């Protein structure tokens, strides 16, 4: 696994932090309007080029939690989305948004409280986080979701993600699962999502990890 680099980009009112181990280079930040990120410039992130509102908007687009921001002038920082959602990306990770409590989330990645991309192909070297290994693999899944779950009476509140050893991601909390097509597919408060890549009922765990050689710590 590549060495972790944490970079702080200091502006007069905002400090943007980037965590190299979580970034999967989908470039949501680089394509946002404005000059906050410019890969041809050094430093490539300059918070003084944008208003605090625009800085926060770009940081919140980062699907992995690699970006976070702290404002020193009293501007409110990022708040959790009012609903917990998990999008099953076509051939890629599970993208989580909301009030996230991911077991073992490192303190130097505060963005993971709001946004995260979790491996579901089983191949990441930075589990439970996606490291883009799916892109060079045979993992194929279009993000279809079969089950509907129960209807939620309320949304929001903490979403706890527990990492089962050599097994799935256990979810506890109000959550909606969005299929790869963008369809709102499943709602409920408890389920287990496959992270070994072997389930025949993705994104849910169907027990296929049992008896397989897949290991969650590799
Ligand atoms: S949006 Fe996040 S994951 Fe994507 S390139 Fe920027 S920092 Fe990396
Ligand atoms: S974690 Fe993949 S089937 Fe259980």
- Half-sphere exposure of residue 118: CA atoms within 13 angstroms, side-chain side: 30
Cβ-based neighbour number of residue 105 at 10 Å? 18
| 54 phi/psi in degrees, rounded to 5 | -70, -35
pLDDT band at 34 (very low <50, low <70, confident <90, very high): confident
Q: Which of 28-37, 120-129, 190-199 has the lowest mean pLDDT?
A: 28-37
Q: Which two tokens stand for residue 138?
A: 């045979």
The response to whether residue 199 sits with its C-beta less than 6 Å from ligand 2 reads yes
| 109 pLDDT above the threshold of 80 | yes
Atom number in ligand 2 closest to CA 195: 1
pLDDT over threshold 90, residue 55: yes
CATH code linked to domain 6-71? 3.30.70.20
Task: State the pLDDT confidence band at 105, using cuts at 50, 70 and 90.
Answer: very high
Site residues for ligand 1, CB cut-off 6 Å: 18, 23-29, 62, 64, 66-67
Q: Give the model's pLDDT for residue 33.
A: 82
Per-residue three-class SS string for 36-84: CECCCCCCCECHHHCCHHHHHHHHHHCCCCCEEEEECCCCCCCCCCCCC
Give residue 25's pLDDT: 83
What's the whole-number average pLDDT of the chain?
Answer: 95
Taking the CA of residue 206 as reference, the ligand 2 atom at the shortest distance is 3
Question: Which residue puts its alpha carbon closest to atom 2 of ligand 1?
Answer: 62
pLDDT at 1: 74
Instruction: Kindly give the number of the ligand 2 atom that is closest to the alpha carbon of 169.
Output: 1
- Mean of the pLDDT values across residues 198-216? 97
Task: Write out the two tokens for 207.
Answer: 């027990």
Among the listed residues 193, 174, 190, the one whose alpha carbon sits nearest the alpha carbon of residue 117:
193
Give tens-digit pLDDT for 118-169.
999 999 999 999 999 999 999 999 999 999 999 898 989 999 999 999 999 9
Residue 31 burial (CB count, 10 A): 10
Other C-beta atoms lying within 10 Å of the C-beta of residue 90: 13
Local confidence band at 31 (pLDDT 50, 70, 90 cut-offs) = confident
Q: What is the pLDDT of residue 26?
A: 80
Whether residue 112 has pLDDT greater than 90: yes
Residue with tokens 């930040």: 29
CB atoms within 10 A of CB 57: 15
Smallest-distance ligand from the CA of 62: 1
Q: How many angstroms does the Cα of residue 63 sit away from the middle of ligand 1? A: 7
Considering Cα of 10, then 39, then 29, then 171, what sign does the dihedral take? negative
The whole-number average pLDDT for the span 13-42 is 91
Give residue 183 CA to ligand 2 midpoint distance, Å. 23
Count CB neighbours of 40 within 10 A.
5
**Number of the ligand 1 atom closest to the C-alpha atom of 27:** 5
- CA–centroid distance, residue 18 to ligand 1 (Å): 9
- The pLDDT of 40-69, averaged and rounded, is 96
CA quadruple 182, 183, 184, 186: dihedral sign: negative
Q: Is the pLDDT of residue 2 over 80?
A: no
Please tell me whether residue 14 adopts helix, strand or coil conformation: strand
In short, whether 38's Cβ falls inside 6 Å of ligand 2 is no
Dihedral angle at the C-alpha atoms of 92, 126, 67, 172, nearest 10 degrees?
70
Map out the domains of the chain as residue ranges. Answer: 6-71, 85-193
User: CB neighbours of 127 closer than 8 A, spacing ≥ 6?
Assistant: 119, 195, 216, 217, 218
């Amino acid at each position: 696994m590549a060495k972790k680099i944490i970079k702080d980009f200091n502006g007069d009112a905002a400090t943007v932090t980037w965590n190299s181990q979580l970034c999967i280079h989908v470039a949501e930040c680089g394509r946002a309007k404005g000059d906050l990120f410019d890969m041809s410039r050094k430093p490539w992130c300059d918070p003084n080029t944008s208003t605090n509102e625009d800085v926060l908007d770009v940081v919140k687009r980062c699907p992995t939690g690699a970006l976070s921001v702290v404002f020193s002038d009293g501007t409110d920082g990022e708040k959790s989305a009012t609903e917990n959602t998990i999008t099953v990306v076509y051939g890629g990770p599970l993208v989580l948004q909301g009030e996230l409590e991911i077991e073992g989330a490192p303190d130097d990645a505060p963005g993971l409280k709001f946004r995260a991309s979790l491996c579901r192909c089983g191949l990441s070297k930075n589990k439970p986080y996606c490291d883009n290994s799916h892109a060079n693999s045979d993992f194929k899944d279009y993000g279809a979701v079969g089950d509907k779950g129960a209807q939620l009476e309320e949304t929001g509140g903490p979403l706890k993600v527990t990492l089962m050893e050599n097994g799935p991601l256990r979810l506890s909390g109000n959550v909606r699962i969005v299929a790869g097509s963008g369809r709102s597919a499943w709602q409920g408060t408890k389920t287990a999502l496959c992270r070994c890549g072997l389930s025949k009922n993705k994104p849910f765990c169907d027990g296929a990890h049992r008896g397989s050689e897949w290991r969650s710590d590799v």
